[in-house]
């Protein structure tokens, strides 16, 4: 975003989403080394499932930025170029980086690097998804405003839900590589994330109207995450949908309610916590690097006779976050670092919220 298109809520959402992804992976890795016992084990297992909203929330944020930033100005000629340089090149570098442990032979390494870079066979697959939407936005940004948002949102939800339901509730077909397709590859095609694209785009394009609606339905906005969390955990613990994934069909509702809740809370804040803004600035680099440091910590602790219990999860979380940030700060001294780990995001100076609130109130008074 440019200096003129900052939206304070996005810094809050991006910071929370980033920390949620790191905690998600810390819990997932930590629970493999901890004997899950009693209610504590159920608690962390449940939190693990609930945190899967973070990846689709990043899709929503990315599309919100496009809708918000370019609603009153044309796309620059460098739209795709800049994203290739500062998003896709770091994705490819990390695809190479995370393929190194598989280099027992040149063939094994080559296959892993190919899988990582072409079909996102590592946690960086998010970048492949978001690039599909960049291209889709480039193709459709002139016609999207002409459509009825309600029709587009409902249609995209049906398509998205149908796609996820197919892979959630069917077994692999008798086709080549079916197990891999059902296990992982179906994550990458944009159909599995289409609703977040349209929702983010329209919320950003009609930002003032969106904020008015959040205020109008604030009771439901505040209660929504509790309702969808309860529903999601019921499905999970009853074994109706017992998978750990952001590609669960019920995650469509959960991500939406959590996103709206965070947006509402952020809008009501006089200032966004500087620590959250800081994490937001480093979010892309943290996203790329944290899994490496969690693996390093886990490898090291395998040789130590130290039983940290569930506190091990928080060690993985805090340690991988801080090490990622220090690495970004150190590597960023090199002028080509942005092509390897992405750019450090812009900061956010805390202005008075009166201007934003006045714009929303003005919009509400003219449409009420």
Radius of gyration of the chain (CA): 21
Q: How far is CA 38 from CA 24, 275, 315, in A?
A: 20, 34, 22
The stretch 84-110 carries a mean pLDDT of: 94
| Mean pLDDT of the chain, nearest integer | 91
**Residue 230 scores a pLDDT above 80:** yes
> Confidence band (pLDDT; 50, 70, 90) for 364?
very low
d(CA 365, CA 233): 40
Task: Please classify residue 41 by burial: count the beta carbons closer than 10 Å to its beta carbon, then call 0-12 exposed, 13-18 middle and 19+ buried.
Answer: middle
Phi (first) and psi of residue 357, to 5 degrees: -65, -40
Please give the span between the terminal C-alpha atoms of the chain, in angstroms, as a whole number. Answer: 30
d(CA 343, CA 336): 10
Q: Beta-carbon neighbour count of residue 313 at 10 Å?
A: 22
Q: What pTM was estimated for this model as a whole? A: 0.91
Domain assignments of the chain as residue spans, ordered by start: 3-367
Looking at residue 188, the DSSP 8-state letter turns out to be S
Q: What is the pLDDT of residue 295?
A: 96
116, 84, 90: which is closest to 331 by C-alpha? 90
Q: What is the pLDDT of residue 240?
A: 94
d(CA 285, CA 260): 25
Q: Identify the H or E element spanning 333.
A: none
Q: Beta-carbon neighbour count of residue 150 at 10 Å?
A: 9
The stretch 316-329 carries a mean pLDDT of: 97
d(CA 300, CA 89): 30
Q: What is the pLDDT of residue 308?
A: 84
115, 250, 125, 253: which is closest to 189 by C-alpha? 125
Q: What pLDDT, in 10s, does the model give residues 26-41? A: 999 999 888 767 888 8
The stretch 43-66 carries a mean pLDDT of: 96
Is the Cβ–Cβ distance between 94 and 288 less than 8 Å? yes
**Residue 187 scores a pLDDT above 60:** yes
Residues composing the chain: 368
35-44, 99-108, 265-274: which range is least confident on average? 35-44
**Residue 95 scores a pLDDT above 70:** yes
11-20, 103-112, 243-252: which range is least confident on average? 103-112
């Amino acid at each position: 975003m440019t200096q003129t298109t900052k939206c304070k809520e996005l810094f809050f959402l991006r910071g929370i989403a980033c920390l949620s992804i790191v905690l998600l992976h810390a819990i997932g890795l930590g629970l493999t080394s901890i004997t899950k016992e009693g209610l504590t084990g159920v608690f962390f297992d449940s939190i693990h499932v609930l945190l899967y909203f973070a990846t689709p929330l990043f899709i929503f944020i990315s599309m919100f930025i496009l809708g918000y930033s370019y609603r009153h100005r044309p796309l620059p000629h460098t739209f795709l170029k800049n994203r290739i340089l500062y998003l896709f090149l770091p994705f490819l570098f990390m695809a190479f980086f995370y393929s190194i442990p598989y280099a027992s032979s040149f063939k094994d390494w080559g296959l892993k690097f190919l899988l990582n870079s072409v079909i996102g066979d590592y946690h960086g697959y998010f970048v492949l998804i978001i690039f599909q939407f960049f291209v889709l936005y480039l193709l459709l940004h002139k016609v999207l405003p002409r459509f009825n948002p309600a029709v587009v949102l409902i249609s995209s939800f049906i398509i998205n839900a149908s796609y996820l339901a197919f892979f959630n509730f069917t077994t692999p077909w008798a086709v080549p590589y079916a197990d891999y397709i059902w296990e992982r590859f179906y994550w990458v095609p944009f159909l599995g994330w289409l609703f977040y694209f349209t929702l983010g785009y329209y919320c950003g394009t009609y930002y003032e109207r969106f904020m008015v609606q959040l205020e109008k339905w604030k009771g439901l906005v505040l209660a929504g995450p509790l309702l969808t969390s309860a529903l999601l955990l019921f499905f999970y613990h009853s074994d109706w949908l017992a998978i750990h994934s952001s590609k669960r069909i019920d995650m469509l509702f959960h991500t939406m309610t959590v996103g709206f809740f965070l947006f509402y809370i952020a809008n009501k804040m006089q200032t966004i916590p500087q620590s959250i803004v800081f994490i937001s600035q480093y979010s892309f680099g943290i996203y790329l690097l944290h899994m490496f440091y969690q693996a390093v910590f886990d490898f090291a602790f395998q040789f130590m006779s130290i039983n940290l219990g569930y506190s091990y999860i928080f060690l993985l979380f805090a340690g991988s976050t801080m090490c990622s940030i220090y690495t970004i700060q150190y590597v960023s001294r090199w002028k080509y670092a942005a092509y390897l780990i992405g750019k450090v995001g812009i900061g956010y100076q805390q202005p008075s919220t009166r201007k934003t609130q006045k714009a929303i109130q003005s919009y509400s008074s003219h449409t009420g």
